[in-house]
Structure 1
Amino acid sequence: MPWWGELAGTEWLPPPGGGLVVVPDTGQRALSDGCLHPPGRVGLGAARPQLCPHPAWRPGLEPGCGHRPRSLGAGMSAMETTNRVQVAAHHWRPRFTANGIDVNDFDDTVLRTTDWKDWGPNWRAVGDMHETLGREAEARGRTLSAAQAYQRASWCYHLGKFLWFEDVAVHGELRDRSVWVYRQALPRLDPPGERLEIPFEGHVIPANLRRPQGQGRPPLVLLVPGLDSSKEELFAIENEFLHRGMATLTMDGPGQSENSVHFAIRPDWETVITPVIDHLARQDLKIDLGRVGLMGISMGAIYGPRAAAHEKRVRAVVGLAGPYNLGECWEALNSLTRGGYIFYTKSANEAEARRKADTLNLEGVLHRMMQPLLVIHGARDRLFPPAHAERIAREAPHATLVMYPDGNHVCNNIPYKYRPLMADWLHEQLTKLS
């Protein structure tokens, strides 16, 4: 059983098998997988260099925010730091295989992709193969097989373009194809989904709504992707909530996947979530808008708390693997992720994107968030180090922190640990409101 503790309204929950227990500024010590932090030396600021690093933390491989890599460290070769194909495989294989990409497709495509310019076209070919399988199944009336093949095709198209900008026209084709083919799968899913187009600043917020079968008016979980993910990618996470009797609305907000055409990334997500809930309230969608939760992933873990600090109809929030301040992380980001921020912020160059990164933060926001917040992070996160999660949990009045010592970014290497926990927690929070 996990150990629970409370201090000044903040709960710290290590996951089963060990984790990080932080007791700030009380003279006590914080235990992290055998390492002791000095009292008062958790979080960010001047004390950051005195943080006890996780035993697996290596400069160059998993650098902390604000620290330039000093060496390559074990586990990453010089070639991997320059070969973008290997960087993509090294960082994101766990993510995409956990979210539905067949591991054989991933490994085979990486193996035959020797030049980054071929990444998008090669994944398009794999997506085309799965789309053909879907059409063949549909022609035979095999709707389940068709839906599964269409989903795999959509995920392959998305993987081909997520941080690939060598050919902007092909990037756009992959984006549009991912959305289109997933729409063929939506009504065939179990439970089925429907596409919503929510009016927003002269365009729309596109979203996929799924409701559990036989639940009357279930609570609703808003799912917010990160920098380079998409609403289509989050099917497996949707199912965790649906299996527990919660509906899901997964959206592409400003600067995200389908909505990167019309909008750039923005920090003020209260301007996004409030119109979304207003629109839902005007419809009869058979969901309980008195019980709305939100889960934000990576950058979505900045958007979610910022929205909830202003939008009180959001009753509970999960922040998964988000930074406290993106600008402080900039120097440690890999080249592909930096390129993603340039593209999705619609910046002219890296200097402009770097300036915009400073606006993507939670400073001065969290103290206004009165809803319960579950912060989940991996101690081996290569993008946003654990100190950011610690600070988020310290500043939010009603936060719970779960730190997995073996977790990578978004804990995609251990989905069987974090996904049930976050779904159970959000179910418990929303059930209390019945």
Structure 2
Amino acid sequence: MDSTPAADERTSAAIAHWAPRFVSNGIPLHDFTVTTASVHEWSQWCARWVERGRVHEELGDQALTDGHTRSAGEHLRRAALCYHFGAFLFVEHTDEMFAAHAQAVAAYNRALPHLDPPGRRIEIPYQGSHLVGVLRVPDVPAPPPVVVMVAGLDSTKEEMGAYEEHLHQRGLATLAFDGPGQGEAQRHLPMRPDFEVPVGAVVDHLATLPEVAQRVGIYGVSLGGHYVVRATAFEPRIAACASISGSYRVADNWEGRPPMTRAAYRVRAHLASDEATARFVERLDLSGVAGRATAPLYVVAGTADRLTPHTAGIRIADEAAGPTVLDVVEGGNHVVNNMPYRYRPQVADWMNHRLRS
């Protein structure tokens, strides 16, 4: 008879729903299975993933000692992902969450020079402060177009590598950055609905970088998929936009979202109450905005998405003013992480074509 205690409700929900995201973005299935099996109470979640991250960081250390820099980059990036997923939605334990996030940033920074293509950490001037991004430019004969990568509610630039690799393979550069309420900006800059403002600062900075061409695409997942449509509507320098599982209006299914997700909105927006948070998300609304997006748009939605109904993607595509591709994936979950092969290469092909047209 198995005497292993059953996981609590939050942990059970995480294990049931998050495997496709973790695995498709770089966590080995074995690590997901073993690590989550050791978590019986949600309060243990972050610590267990930090322990797993240390396994990969030690492998990275050994690879560096042995002079195997490519392997070191892979191990250290995987360590960063483990630390990141330890902090993921751990908003009721902010000290532990912030510490795990800092470990993710540190491990990823160590990985950057050993990745292919290598990454460079940059600071983007922003309203008296700065935003942090990672620029990765493939080894190509001429400065390539660049795609700005926008993460979701509780994601960060450290998680975007699995999307970026398809773009790099096609000779495109990427700039993944933490916007207000995300990653390295989460403690001092609250999230904001008018995401065209930070995106404008990013595009301004890109114009100063000689290693990339002044031809800019944007690619967002989850809440980032909402942000990028709005940014494209108001930022004319964006030449192509990919929106993956972006909400049309976040408030439409607010009460149906998991409690941890609603709590993350409260913390990321620097708000004190659930009532204030519910009022805030009313502003995350593309009504009257999507129709202003004239740049080419690629929209992906999954029919089994429990966070963002696929009808939101259909509505965005229907209202967009420019040429639009709508890809509704039958059985696709949130961000279609259960079938990434159904859209990640296709979006990269489309983005490459649009930015070089």
Equivalent runs, 1:185-334 vs 2, <5 Å = 185-284=111-210, 286-289=211-214, 291-334=215-258
**Structure 2 Cα separation of the partners of residues 279 and 322 of structure 1:** 25
**Structure 1 Cα separation of the partners of residues 92 and 36 of structure 2:** 17
Aligned twin of 2:332: 407
**Structure 1 Cα separation of the partners of residues 190 and 272 of structure 2:** 12
Give the secondary structure class of the aligned counterpart of 1:100.
coil
**Structure 2 Cα separation of the partners of residues 201 and 262 of structure 1:** 12
Instruction: Report how many aligned residue pairs link the two structures.
Output: 351
Please tell me the residue identity of whatever aligns with 2:333: N
**Structure 1 Cα separation of the partners of residues 113 and 37 of structure 2:** 35
Aligned twin of 1:423: 348
Which of the numbers 58, 73, 76 marks the counterpart of 1:150? 76
| Alignment partner of 1:386 is 2:302 | no
What fraction of aligned residue pairs are identical, expressed as a percent?
A: 41
Aligned twin of 1:28: none
Please tell me the residue identity of whatever aligns with 1:177: Q
Aligned twin of 1:126: 52
Give 1:202 deviation, angstroms.
Answer: 2.3
The Cα offsets for residues 193-226 of structure 1, whole Å up to 9 and x where unpaired, read as 1111101122211111111112411111111001
Q: Which has the higher helix share?
A: 2
Give the secondary structure class of the aligned counterpart of 1:199.
strand
Q: Is the 8 A contact 1:215 1:245 kept in 2?
A: no
Give 1:283 deviation, angstroms.
Answer: 3.0
Q: Structure 1: where are the runs of 5+ without partners?
A: 1-78
Equivalent runs, 1:51-62 vs 2, <5 Å = none
The Cα offsets for residues 318-354 of structure 1, whole Å up to 9 and x where unpaired, read as 0000110001120110122112112111121211111
Please tell me the residue identity of whatever aligns with 1:140: D
Q: Structure 2: where are the runs of 5+ without partners?
A: 1-5
Please tell me the residue identity of whatever aligns with 2:327: V
**Structure 2 Cα separation of the partners of residues 136 and 275 of structure 1:** 39
Please tell me the residue identity of whatever aligns with 1:403: V
Aligned twin of 1:340: 264
Give 1:87 deviation, angstroms.
Answer: 1.1
Give the secondary structure class of the aligned counterpart of 1:144.
helix
Aligned twin of 2:273: 349
Root-mean-square deviation (CA, aligned residues, Å) is 1.3
**Structure 1 Cα separation of the partners of residues 150 and 168 of structure 2:** 16
**Structure 2 Cα separation of the partners of residues 287 and 384 of structure 1:** 34
Please tell me the residue identity of whatever aligns with 1:232: E
> If the length of structure 1 is used for normalisation, what is the TM-score?
0.79
Aligned twin of 1:26: none
Which of the numbers 7, 12, 17 marks the counterpart of 1:86? 12
**Structure 2 Cα separation of the partners of residues 179 and 203 of structure 1:** 19
Please tell me the residue identity of whatever aligns with 2:150: V
Please tell me the residue identity of whatever aligns with 2:308: F
**Structure 1 Cα separation of the partners of residues 311 and 242 of structure 2:** 17
Q: Is the 8 A contact 1:390 1:401 kept in 2?
A: yes
The Cα offsets for residues 393-433 of structure 1, whole Å up to 9 and x where unpaired, read as 1111222211001210000000111101111111111121x
Give 1:264 deviation, angstroms.
Answer: 1.2
The higher relative CO (CA closer than 8 Å, separation ≥ 6) is in 1
**Structure 1 Cα separation of the partners of residues 145 and 234 of structure 2:** 20
Give 1:167 deviation, angstroms.
Answer: 2.3
Q: Is the 8 A contact 1:324 1:392 kept in 2?
A: yes
Please tell me the residue identity of whatever aligns with 2:95: A
Please tell me the residue identity of whatever aligns with 2:112: L
Please tell me the residue identity of whatever aligns with 1:179: V
**Structure 2 Cα separation of the partners of residues 240 and 175 of structure 1:** 25
**Structure 1 Cα separation of the partners of residues 212 and 88 of structure 2:** 32
Please tell me the residue identity of whatever aligns with 2:343: Y
Give 1:270 deviation, angstroms.
Answer: 1.5
Please tell me the residue identity of whatever aligns with 1:276: V
Equivalent runs, 1:361-400 vs 2, <5 Å = 361-398=285-322, 399-400=324-325
**Structure 2 Cα separation of the partners of residues 283 and 216 of structure 1:** 13
**Structure 2 Cα separation of the partners of residues 302 and 253 of structure 1:** 13
The Cα offsets for residues 49-79 of structure 1, whole Å up to 9 and x where unpaired, read as xxxxxxxxxxxxxxxxxxxxxxxxxxxxxx9
Q: Is the 8 A contact 1:212 1:245 kept in 2?
A: yes
The Cα offsets for residues 106-135 of structure 1, whole Å up to 9 and x where unpaired, read as 111111100000001111111112111111
**Structure 2 Cα separation of the partners of residues 415 and 204 of structure 1:** 32
> If the length of structure 2 is used for normalisation, what is the TM-score?
0.96
The Cα offsets for residues 367-418 of structure 1, whole Å up to 9 and x where unpaired, read as 2111111110000001011111111111112222110012100000001111
The Cα offsets for residues 289-316 of structure 1, whole Å up to 9 and x where unpaired, read as 1x21100111111111111111111011
Equivalent runs, 1:14-25 vs 2, <5 Å = none
**Structure 2 Cα separation of the partners of residues 348 and 425 of structure 1:** 42
